[in-house]
Structure 1
Amino acid sequence: MDVPALLDRDGLLAEWRRLTARTKSGHGVYELDGRGEVVTNSRPSARRQIVLTDVYCHLSEQMGHLAAMSMAVVTPSSGIRVPDVVWMPCEKWEGFDRDDPLPFVPDLCVEVLLDRGTAQNIDRRVQAYLEGGAHEVIVVDQYGQVEFRGAKGRRQVSMFGVALSLDPIYFDGRRVPAAPGGTRN
């Protein structure tokens, strides 16, 4: 049985353009795996949207207004993925077609697992972002726990000095007290 080969960046972008030309569902609802096959995501719930906006606001306030929500990015090993929030320095925002996915992975990516079926494959997503050039990936789980991950694994604090104080009212069941730096353990 032949396994389809992984597409390179140009192949992924071509498939993305074909997909966006025939659908009106919007970015963030779908992604492409490494073979260019469509991966459909459900629309975020109202509480997940509030948490995504809160994370975006924290990043914008702490790092400058160079963050974006639900921006498609090309990863070298996992296709075109849509992190919940991304941040990168000003100079990286120049020189690419804004109608296409970012041709690279931004410096910081955030995944919020609340109401999302990606908990089982989050390690693969994190690795794809790090392999693609992210310096850090922040993962917020369904209980509000915040993990900072880098090329050498989990960190106690963000390398960017980011602290997230997320309201526990939006998270499932278990209340988790805030730890130093605003994270929840």
Structure 2
Amino acid sequence: MEWANVISNPLLQNLPFKIELNKWGKILMSPASNNHGRLQYEVGRRINRQKGSGKIIMKCSIKTSDGVKVADVAWASDAFIAKYGYSTPYIKAPEICVEITSPSNSAGEIEEKVQLYLAKGALEVWVVNEKGQTAYYTHEGQVASSAEVLG
């Protein structure tokens, strides 16, 4: 299945979980809790305060070498938006991509997404756990983590 088919299929709209595609076009679904949604908002708000200009994109689809992955939150600079607009999915990752972990996520799955986003051009990948604690990754690896709880 292609990403355009997923986003245009009325049966796949307004579902209570995140949909991604693997490299063979198979639909992968992850349930999301209300806390997950709260953390998405808090992360987007934090990035917006830090960066000022640019755009926050929730559920940002990115075509990777392992299919279309959907970052829970992304920040795209004005230059990124000027070049790529709001094409779906993006062929290059915005500068910051954020994954908010769920109980169903394995450590290996999250590590793979970090690497996929970095390989597609993200400058930073943030991984936020269910408590709101954040680990920050760049091309140099994990560069920091915060025990601060969001919201």
Structure 2 residue aligned with 1:68: 57
State TM-score, norm by structure 2.
0.83
Structure 2 residue aligned with 1:152: 140
Q: 1:79 to 1:155 in 2, by over 3 A?
A: same
Deviation at 1:119, TM superposition (A): 3.3
State TM-score, norm by structure 1.
0.69
Distance 1:116 1:52 in 2: 16
1:86 corresponds to 2:71:
no
Consecutive unaligned residues of structure 1, counting only runs of 5 or more, are 1-13, 159-163, 168-185
Deviation at 1:29, TM superposition (A): 2.4
1:143 corresponds to 2:131:
yes
Q: Is the 8 A contact 1:126 1:137 kept in 2?
A: yes
Distance 1:89 1:99 in 2: 15
Q: Is the 8 A contact 1:68 1:85 kept in 2?
A: yes
Distance 1:116 1:60 in 2: 27
Distance 1:92 1:33 in 2: 25
Q: Which has the higher strand share?
A: 2
Q: Is the 8 A contact 1:78 1:125 kept in 2?
A: no
Number of residue pairs the alignment of both structures matches: 146
In our comparison, the structure showing a higher alpha carbon Rg is 1
Consecutive unaligned residues of structure 2, counting only runs of 5 or more, are none
Q: Is the 8 A contact 2:92 2:120 kept in 1?
A: yes
Deviation at 1:48, TM superposition (A): 1.5
Structure 2 SS opposite 1:126: helix
Q: CA deviation digits over 1:117-175, x for unaligned, max 9? A: 223310001000011101110111233331111112111279xxxxx7514xxxxxxxx
Distance 2:106 2:131 in 1: 12
Q: CA deviation digits over 1:32-74, x for unaligned, max 9? A: 11122111222x2112211110111011111125111111111
Following superposition of structure 1 onto structure 2, how do residues 120-131 of structure 1 map, counting pairs within 5 Å?
A: 120=107, 121-131=109-119
Q: 1:127 to 1:55 in 2, by over 3 A?
A: same
Structure 2 residue aligned with 1:177: none
Q: Is the 8 A contact 2:133 2:145 kept in 1?
A: no
Q: Give the alignment partner of residue 23 of structure 2, picking from 20, 28, 34.
A: 34
Deviation at 1:110, TM superposition (A): 0.7
Structure 2 residue aligned with 1:102: 90
Distance 1:144 1:22 in 2: 33
Distance 1:145 1:119 in 2: 17
Q: 1:152 to 1:95 in 2, by over 3 A?
A: closer
